[in-house]
Amino acid sequence: MTRRIAYQGEPGANSHIVCREHYPDWEALACASFEDVFAAVESGDAELAMIPIDNSIAGRVADIHHFLPDSGLHIIAEHFLRIRFCLMAVPGASLDTIRTVHSHVHALGQCRKIIREHGLTPVIAGDTAGAAREVAEFGDPTQAAISPPLAADIYGLEILVEDVEDEEHNTTRFVVLSRDLVEATAGGGPVVTSFIFNVRNLPAALYKALGGFATNGVNMTKLESYMVGGEFTATQFLAEVDGHPDDIGVRRALEELAFFTTDVKILGVYPADPFRAEVSR
């Protein structure tokens, strides 16, 4: 039986590209929304989910932090994708014929130079790959799309300009989610531990909660806060550290964290993508 991995977006989206790169033998299941992706895994329609969580330009991906804590899913892997966008249009179109360009709002914002250079009118679409599909359906040589190169192949478009993103470092981090808890083994290579917690409503609670990571020499690579329950006094944090909970430093830091927080929950203990080592050189 073919295994399935769910992603948000239409065929040809960046999430689809990551699924093909790292799970080439799996069926990639396109979903309209992140909520649908989570539901597909929770219901068993898919075994895994590929979810974007951070972008080097746009920052954190909205809504993911709302779904993760209560989903019952576990992070089992991470993958980084260098984002590449192409300007594409129907066969026969050219840079001289196009007048408008369709794409997701973030992609349009990340490709301002090409849009400004050719005086194009941006049109917001719900998805980068969906923009390519729409342009193909329109069949209008005055309309173009900014989409991943895979979308051109899928929807029969011609690439007019490659790599139109403004910044070469444009990279998105994806995490793989599973119903089953699969933890990386300690001592088997670089590991990332992701967890959430709520601080007690006390003076300097966050400072005290995080002190254990500093004193135990644990590198914290992410710390993000979110309001929960509609209350300004209830703040939840998503954090990530280098290391395994079985490592003595991480274990002691997590024990100290528990003194000043509530609802500490490990979301995943998984191998660090080699990309991390490359960018830290």
The pLDDT of residue 195 is 95
Reference 270, options 183, 201, 156, 169; nearest CA is 183
Give the SS3 label for residue 202. Answer: coil
pLDDT at 234: 61
* Single pTM value for the model: 0.90
Catalytic residue among 34, 80, 85, 174: 174
Which helix (H) or strand (E) covers residue 193, if one does?
strand 191-199
* Paired strand residues for 54: 60, 173
The Cα–Cα gap between 197 and 265 comes to 6
Secondary structure (3-state) at 13: coil
CB of 143 closer than 8 Å to CB of 102: yes
Answer for the pair 61, 55: CB distance below 8 angstroms, yes or no: yes
Residue of 128, 172, 193, 261 marked active site: 172
pLDDT for the residue numbered 221: 94
Question: How many whole angstroms separate alpha carbon 121 and alpha carbon 102?
Answer: 9
Mean pLDDT, the chain cut into blocks of 10 residues (281 residues total):
92 96 96 94 96 86 77 95 97 97 94 96 94 97 98 98 93 96 92 92 84 95 81 79 97 92 91 86 62
Q: Please, are residues 256 and 266 in contact by the beta-carbon 8 Å criterion?
A: no
Question: What tokens does 223 get?
Answer: 């710390």
Burial class (CB in 10 A: 0-12, 13-18, 19+), 98: buried
**Partners of 82 in beta bridges:** 171
Does the annotation count 172 as an active-site position? yes
Known active-site residue 174: yes
